[in-house]
Amino acid sequence: QGREAGTTLALSTRTVSSPGLGSRGQVPRECRAGSSSALLHRERHHFRPRRIVLIRHGQSTGNVDEASYTKTPDWKIELTPLGREQASRAGRELRALMGNCATARAYCYVSPYRRARDTLDLILAELDEGQVIGVREEPRISEQQFGNFQTEEAMRRAKAERASFGRFYYRFPSGESALDVYSRVSSFIATMYRDAHQMSESGVLTRETSIVIVSHGLSARTFIMRWFQLSVDDFELMSNQPNASLIVLDKQANEKGDEWYQLTPESFSVLNACGQMDPEHMRVGGPPGYESERDLVARDAGRVDADDLELMDDSTNSGDLPLSLQPTNSKDIAT
């Protein structure tokens, strides 16, 4: 596809701080994502960082004592001492994953919740400052909303009801359903994808960059569900990742130059702790029978179809509308 002239991304050298990230939260303005109003380029092959890493926050006080939610707002819940140790270990695992490549860098998105921000701060402490090219706080990857201050008995009843009703559609009283989280995470994926393009064009991101997302268990599962276009039945079988564990989507490529992301076997095993998920549904190629070049990447949400770009032309200045999330293409893109 031909390229359409886009806007020039203006950069400055001012620094910005992210609350809770300490001194390492100071990142150059030029390392932040550009405006989401920048024009999209119509081209078949889009920039893809080396990998996407989903990290759940370390153990929190709410994980060990649900009474914490009765007196502390969920977004202010802290890490336990064990959770801090777990976060530091996750930082060392991320460093090892990135390897010794001279151009290996990390660009990070983090939930505004304190336990997620503190987890990222401890992760960053395990990396060299030069390895971190930016940090962005992102409310759309926040924890599922369960209401305001919670009572233990009401929450126990709600969770029991959710188990019989279904985890994806059940809405907590005064809170959210997993469907609500899926919707905002889908919008975030679109922004993340545009950020990567804009920052790659400005020279900030390289093909050895890792996109690191520090958030919550449900946020990560709905990210996986949306990325691989899994069904609600698949979601119901998916397990929550352990605290401070890494779910890794590695970039793959074929001889034609097509690129896509695929879960590492270890990451699939974490999500499939129940042992009931079909690994064929987690492959980019989809179920057996997908044979064409287009089908090869049909189940990878990072793939922006040319038709989607046409539809996005008139909407790119109106905010963070999803890419490759047009209603007619979300499930039947290969048909």
Q: How far apart are CA 33 and CA 45, in angstroms?
A: 20
Q: How far apart are CA 258 and CA 45, in angstroms?
A: 7
Beta strands in 83-179 (DSSP E): 105-110, 132-137
Q: How far apart are CA 115 and CA 133, in angstroms?
A: 22
Beta carbons of 82 and 58 less than 8 angstroms apart: yes
CA angle 114, 116, 119 (to 5 degrees): 105
Catalytic positions are: 57, 143
How far is the CA of 186 from the CAs of 103, 111, 332, in angstroms? 29, 15, 17
Beta carbons of 138 and 188 less than 8 angstroms apart: yes
Q: What are the backbone dihedrals phi and psi of residue 99, each rounded to the nearest 5 degrees, phi first? A: 75, -165
- What is the 3-state secondary structure of 51-69? EEEEEECCCEHHHHCHHHH
Beta carbons of 120 and 108 less than 8 angstroms apart: yes
